Amino acid sequence: MLIAQLSDPHVRPDGVLYKGVVDSNALFAAAIAQVNALDPRPDLVLLSGDLVDEGDPAEYAMLRRLLRGLKRPLRVIPGNHDSRTAFAEAFAEHSYLPRSGPMNYVADDCGPVRLVALDVTVPGLHHGVIDDVGAQWLEEALAAAPERPTVLMMHQPPFACGIPYLDAYLCREGDRLAAIVSRHPQVERIVCGHVHRHMQLRFAGTILCTAPSTATAIALRLKPDAEPASFEEPPAMLLHHWQPAIGLITHFLPIGAFAGPYPFA
């Protein structure tokens, strides 16, 4: 099973640039085109939050226009820049999504890998949290299929990455999440967005990784007094490849046209 993960496209209304600088809509369209061109084609596409930049209905209208070009099954989760209400309205035909409240759901009909999506966003704020309701829901969702290889999707990652202006907005109560996941060894991967960079680490007996943004890259500045910054680095996606005899391999794939292919490896 092949799962493509896109994240943080920060779609803007038609003709409006992200932060007044970057054409995030065109970059997201290029990402969709690259997903469509993959061979073999992904069985599933994940979009792990911050689908739009300001939660505005005009942004979601543009997002829907762009997503009409996607030719593979899609599963989505909101981020801190999304509006739960506008998000639910924009994806009203996605029957797996709750109509209100946290957008938690399970997708176990897309292939051998089960997807558990946990909405850790806090409306109106930029950090995430594993609260009592989310923790109980996740425990029950994972306990329902202990033999199925599982990917857990969230938006904010539950760890301090060392970039000070990102760590203020991580997912809080990471220890609570770790305690739950450690009881469920079928969790092959925790996949997140939010940080606009690819990161990975061991977490609760599994691997946690973050997807880069299809828009801009947040600067990798590790000094405690570092000032927030971003760059127009090449956008990228993650490809999670499940093989029964091996498990789940995660690949980093830049988005764009590059010289090659050359007849050597």
H helices present in 68-205, as ranges:
84-90, 132-143, 164-167, 174-182
**Mean pLDDT of the 175-203 span:** 98
Which residue matches tokens 């990455």?
161
Q: Which residues contact 260 (CB under 8 A, 6 or more apart)?
A: none
pLDDT at 170 over 90: yes
Q: How far is 36 from 20, CA to CA, in rounded Å?
A: 28
Closest CA to 212 of 255, 148, 153, 149: 255
Residue (of 27, 78, 29, 25) closest to 49 by Cα position: 78
Whether 183 shows a pLDDT value over 90: the answer reads yes
Q: Tell me if 157 sits within 8 A of 199, measured CB to CB.
A: yes
Beta bridge partners of 171: 128
Q: Given this model, what pLDDT does residue 12 score?
A: 98
Please state the pTM of the whole predicted model.
Answer: 0.96
pLDDT digits (tens, 9 = 90+) for 47-67: 999 999 999 999 999 999 999
Task: Characterize the bridge pairing of strands 247-254 and 171-172.
Answer: unpaired
Look at residue 37 and tell me whether its pLDDT is greater than 90: yes
CB 17, CB 30: distance < 8 Å: no
Q: What is the pLDDT of residues 116-146, one digit of tens each?
A: 999 999 999 999 999 999 999 999 999 999 9
Give one word for 109, left, alpha or beta, with left for phi > 0 and alpha for psi -120 to 50: alpha
Kindly list the structural domains of the chain, giving each domain's residue range(s) and its CATH number in brackets, ordered by start: 2-254 (3.60.21.10)
- Residue 100 pLDDT exceeds 90: no
